[in-house]
Structure 1
Amino acid sequence: MESLYLLIPLSVLIAGIIGVLFWWAGRDGQFDDLEGPGHRILHDDDTPPQDPS
């Protein structure tokens, strides 16, 4: 029972930290373009550059 006095506030603190980090990432623009990286992988150009000579 005594361990609950430590575990409950610790879990609330960790959940609060995760919430703040999620809010910060959302305000920073981390979730603005969710489809762009997937499309960039499909249209990746793997051909080597041509020599201008």
Structure 2
Amino acid sequence: MSVLWVLVGFSVVVAAGFLVAFIWAVRAGQYDDKYTPSVRILFEEEHKTSTFGEPPKNNPEGTTQNGDGNNTVRQQGRT
């Protein structure tokens, strides 16, 4: 039975610790910004383009370097 009182006392101490941490977070401004998280998904981020996503580049010899690394030969005037 005495172990039960020790556990209850320990639980109260832990709960008080969480309450102090919560009050500290509120006073430090952790919950001040309520608008930005709701619209953050709407903002576009700038991504670096890689060579994989770029359009093919034509070389003077008529070869084309594709973004996936494959070379194909195209003759001018023909499709």
Q: Provide TM-score, normalisation by structure 2.
A: 0.53
Moved over 2 A (4+): 44-49
Structure 1: which 5+ runs fail to align?
A: none
Could you say which residue in structure 2 is the equivalent of 1:15? 15
Could you say which residue in structure 1 is the equivalent of 2:5? 5
Identity level (%)? 39
Q: Give the 3-state SS of the residue equivalent to 1:4 in structure 2.
A: helix
Could you say which residue in structure 1 is the equivalent of 2:33? 33
CA RMSD of aligned residues (A): 1.8
Give the total of aligned pairs: 49
Query: How big is the shift at 1:38?
Result: 2.8
Bigger proportion of residues as strand: 2
Give the number of the structure whose alpha-carbon radius of gyration is greater: 2
Bigger proportion of residues as helix: 1
Q: Provide TM-score, normalisation by structure 1.
A: 0.73
